[in-house]
Structure 1
């Protein structure tokens, strides 16, 4: 059974149970499902066809989830777009995907107004609120659509090492598989209440928590964005049983002066991932809340994301590990020829399971590189220990993670090379006390040219999402290179080995 069908069963069998809670507004499974059907019905009546791509550009709201579920219910492909991206990045995604329609949040419409992509129509959340009117339109009648396992239900764009984002196509089977394995490994039941403070446009919030909790018939508590005071208030008062945060969020919460006085009686699980959790932060988290379990979650957008998990009993004695392979999932560490390596040896991590993506949108070449014989080649280098636990030791493709957000140096470097005064540049990750690591640029000026670090960062801020902008710029006379001319990035700045 696929997720839209499963949700329909819950709407019949537990119609009065609260599914979403957002800013004091609660929607039951029945209410939510009726609204989702109206979204599907609207696009049906407008003549949209199965697997047409509908872009969703919104902050966290219950309406976001209605659109997410409703579009899939109608057989359409929902494409959540990262709201932190700069205008050129958003426009590329719209153009490359050839998205037919756009649902957008008026609170962040300034970016939308600067893009040139032509949609069949744009529907606003807020303002004139066309979307809200659709949700309340009882004249819209949904016609059930046969959904295939391999139909593309979700597309999420992830930055590529070539500097251009790639559209990860996830099928209905991929999505339900993620729900199955994560709900099992986190012991999720219908009684769980998940507090979501991280962006719903990310695969982690959507598919590691919303989908698994929905799979079990639980409740989703939605916060627009992480905010120290508001998040803490919700943890105390909204009766959540689960919470997910990137390490930077836990660092901020644990540094509050009164944190040891806080009681969270309903919470049973702190999930963390998307970036490495420093040992001291993890230790402090367990000391501060000894009755709450912690669990690391590892995967990539390309596998829904679902690869492995480190459970609470290993949290402090297997620091740095991303745990054991998930149920129904195979994980190997292989050499360049795809041969499995023995315990302790480092190789590329490959993953196999029903959650592995269909492929990259309009990119057969990259799909063939990423998926071989059903195995997803993650691009991460890792090793297994004698207990069968997986460790990430490096990233094959130089990716760094700033507070849970992926940053690809090549993407930033391409922007730096647009600056006329710069001869060459290289970007590496350097440690940061809150964000884990941040991008730092090393730049060489053209002869006779002058430029300040602030000017470099200002230009980057017009072309890149804020989290991709170098936090520091250092000017050098030349970049270090090896005999073949390759830049020796490892000599530029301290870059810790990190898991995700």
Structure 2
């Protein structure tokens, strides 16, 4: 069984779902039934096949949130190809690395991103470009128009050679080496993860799940959305950019959303809305949140304002099961400081530096095992060998399991910065900054941010006799880093604090510039 099963169940030889059931909708606007979603994915699959896409080929998706994103993802799955879902916020240099590393044969992109692609076309392996027109932005002459995908045959000849262990998706995560790593997901990973969620929360055809993040994230497609489709429910997609919690709540109210994923900063904005009590959220059963713990005041206020809504706090990572643990709503008051217990079919253990399992209340590295753990990092055998050991994913996060079996996150072993739902590794930013001629040394840390939980702080040591300014640093990194990775604070120092072995003491920097 492959991922295409989620939508081809509407066909007569398989029909276990009503083709007229609403499948996906873009906020309160355009929508597709399951029959339409399946037909569009068939059209796209046949068109990609005509372009030469074969089993195992990589197809890049560089799009904003829309219905076509789902059709394209399922089309790639039906061909036995691999969907490379790319962050549209990245700059050309970052996109160049991912497209080269993955070896994408075809790239499907939004017209507003044409300039980013045009400057790197001669240095990437992409053979065919397909552009989705947007507003007045023209389709470049070096790309096919999206219309070529729409013109495919709506009847698809399914492959019989797709195995559950075949890869279906390649998701790039920030790496400690300064370059992102591609976590490889199989059809089996995806179907298991969808099933785990549906089982845990009792999804069915009445489920209306809403995703508020960008679809290039597992937190927006694999979390909630695919589980809702597996259950015959409906997925509501939010538009990309200009996030507005008032608009999101209006959509939840209008579409009678039952399950919604909101990052912590979104929940805080929601609770701080002066008109929050005017929204009728009677159908909303659960709010899921992850990435950072929810503060106690927010838990209490949410319960006071909307006692019928259950808050589900989750922990996970792209390569090690996006939702590996979850905290049930009834435990939020007594165990709200934890990430809950393992999901169905998932195991958690804590190990020390020698990989010895630790007892209760002892901090160590969090390891995850289960059918939704990724198989490997794309073309990175050394990183694969150190992260995936005997079926366990070594997350790099620190934590402990308490006496009641609840996981408590203690820190970030890899110094990851979590800002507005995005993962940022300091070395990515440091590698760009150190290129500037006037910089002798640099360290990047995360500092508290009232809105985004954390933001990037760059501590810079200028070369002797050079007077650097914040403005020239920010001007230098334009076009080299996605906007969310750029420092919100820049500090100049004479030297960085280091250990006897020469390692930067980042904990001291975090204490200084909190």
TM-score range, shorter chain: over 0.9
**CA distance change for structure 1 residues 482 and 139 in 2, over 3 Å: closer, same or farther?**
closer
* Counterpart among 7, 26, 29 of residue 31 in structure 2: 26
- The change in CA–CA distance for 1:151 and 1:484 in structure 2 (over 3 A counts) is same
Q: Indicate if the aligned counterparts of 2:293 and 2:313 stay in contact, CA closer than 8 A.
A: no
Q: Could you say what secondary structure the match of 2:115 adopts?
A: helix
1:142 to 134, 156, 159: 156
Instruction: Find the aligned partners of 2:286 and 2:426 in 1 and give their Cα distance.
Output: 34
Which of 72, 75, 91 in structure 1 is aligned with 2:80? 75
1:56 aligns with 2:73: no
Q: Could you tell me how far 1:37 is from its partner in structure 2?
A: 1.0
Please list, as runs of the form range in 1=range in 2, the aligned pairs for 1:180-191 lying within 5 A after superposition: 180-191=195-206
Instruction: Tell me, in whole angstroms, the C-alpha distance in 1 between the residues paired with 2:235 and 2:6.
Output: 16
Tell me the residue number matched to 2:131: 124
The answer on 1:65 being equivalent to 2:65 is no
For residues 62-114 of structure 1, what are the alpha-carbon distances to aligned partners after superposition, in whole Å with 9 as ceiling and x for unaligned?
Answer: 10111111110121111110111122111110111110001111133332233
Partner of 2:299: 282
Distance change >3 Å, CA 256–CA 495, structure 1 → 2: farther
Is 1:94 aligned to residue 99 of structure 2?
A: yes
- Report SS of the residue matched to 1:303: coil
- Please state how far the C-alpha of 1:495 moved relative to its aligned partner: 9.5
Post-superposition Cα deviations, 1:96-147, rounded to whole Å, max 9, x if no partner, equal 1110001111133332233232421111122578665345436464221122
Deviation at 1:319, TM superposition (A): 2.4
Structure 2 distance, partners of 1:114, 1:267, is 45
Paired with 2:221 and 2:321, the residues of 1 have a C-alpha distance of: 9
| Other-structure match for 2:484 | 467
1:193-208 map, 5 Å: 193-208=208-223
Residues 5-14 or 368-377, more deviating: 5-14
- Aligned pairs, how many? 497
Residues 306, 355 of structure 1: 8 Å contact kept: no
Residue by residue over 1:313-355, the C-alpha shift from the partner in whole angstroms, topping out at 9 and shown as x without a partner, is 1112212211101110111011122221110001111111111
Q: Partners of 2:133 and 2:126 in 1: how far apart?
A: 19
Deviates more, 1:439-448 or 1:485-494: 485-494
- Give the corresponding residue for 1:313: 330
The 8 Å contact of residues 211 and 260 in structure 2, kept in 1 or not, is answered as: yes
Task: Tell me the distance in 1 between the aligned counterparts of 2:410 and 2:182.
Answer: 27
TM-score using structure 1 length: 0.95
Shift of 1:385: 0.6
Any conservation in 2 of the 1:3–1:215 contact (CA below 8 Å)?
A: no
* Cα separation, 1, equivalents of 2:150 and 2:102: 30
Shift of 1:482: 1.6
Pairwise CA distance, 1:426: 0.7
Task: Classify 1:57/1:382 alpha carbon distance in 2 versus 1 (closer, same or farther; 3 Å).
Answer: same
What CA distance in whole angstroms lies between the structure 1 residues aligned with 2:325 and 2:281? 27
Higher mean C-alpha displacement, 135-144 vs 252-261: 135-144
Q: What are the ranges of 5 or more consecutive residues in structure 2 without an aligned counterpart?
A: none
Q: Deviations over 1:424-470 (max 9, x none)?
A: 01111111111001111111111100111232233234311111111
- Counterparts of residues 476-491 of structure 1 (less than 5 Å): 476-491=493-508
What is residue 174 of structure 2 aligned with on the other side? 159
Which of 278, 283, 291 pairs up with 2:308? 291
CA shift for structure 1 position 232 = 2.2
User: For residues 146-295 of structure 1, what are the structure 2 equivalents within 5 Å?
Assistant: 146=160, 147-225=162-240, 226-295=243-312
Between the aligned partners of 2:368 and 2:498, the Cα distance in structure 1 is 34
- Residue 60 of structure 1 contacts residue 223 of structure 1 at CA under 8 Å; is this kept in 2? yes
Q: Name the CA distance, whole Å, in 2 between partners of 1:427 and 1:289.
A: 39
Instruction: Please give the residue correspondences for 1:33-44 in structure 2 after superposition, counting only pairs within 5 Å.
Output: 33-44=38-49
Partner in structure 2 of residue 359 of structure 1: 376
Q: Distance in 1 between matches of 2:331 and 2:95?
A: 40
1:56 and 1:103 in contact (8 A); partners too: yes
Aligned to 2:463: 446
Indicate the residue corresponding to 1:492 in structure 2.
Answer: 509
Q: TM-score, normalising length from structure 2?
A: 0.93
